[in-house]
Amino acid sequence: METVKLVYDLIKTYPRDEKYSLIDQTTRAAISIPSNIAEGLGRNHKKDTIQFLHIARGSAYEVDTLLCIAKRVNVMDDLTYNKAYEKIKRNIQVINGFINYLEKRP
């Protein structure tokens, strides 16, 4: 959820001509992270939960890629990207830990 808030704060600084490209794509990917975690947990089956965690992790990587693109096309500065990257990297680590935990459970 913090990543979604971070992304919404970041995209407020994007130029309006990015509305139908970087803004929409980044927003959708960010929202997908907690949404897929919630859906997986709601399925109440370990296999389903793990599958949705994999999808959430993929969305986190997608957000990172989109932020990197924003940096490369000068929509975002290096310092802002680096702060966001640390948050995304931590999200990925937590999701990986959750996946590993569930895979080891009987």
Q: Where are the domains of the chain?
A: 2-104
Q: Give the residue among 31, 4, 26 at the shortest CA–CA distance from 75.
A: 26
Q: For residue 106, what pLDDT is reported?
A: 83
**Which residues, other chains included, contact 50 with Cβ-Cβ below 8 Å and sequence gap of 6+?**
40, 99, 102, 103
Mean pLDDT of 83-95: 96
Q: For residue 10, what pLDDT is reported?
A: 94
The answer to whether residue 5 scores a pLDDT higher than 90 is yes
Q: For residue 83, what pLDDT is reported?
A: 95
Q: Give the residue among 49, 27, 28 at the shortest CA–CA distance from 38.
A: 49
Structure token digits, residue 15: 């130029």
What fold is seen in the domain 2-104?
de novo design (two linked rop proteins) (1.20.1440)
**pLDDT level of residue 46 (50, 70, 90 thresholds):** very high
**Alpha carbon distance 95, 23 (integer Å):** 24
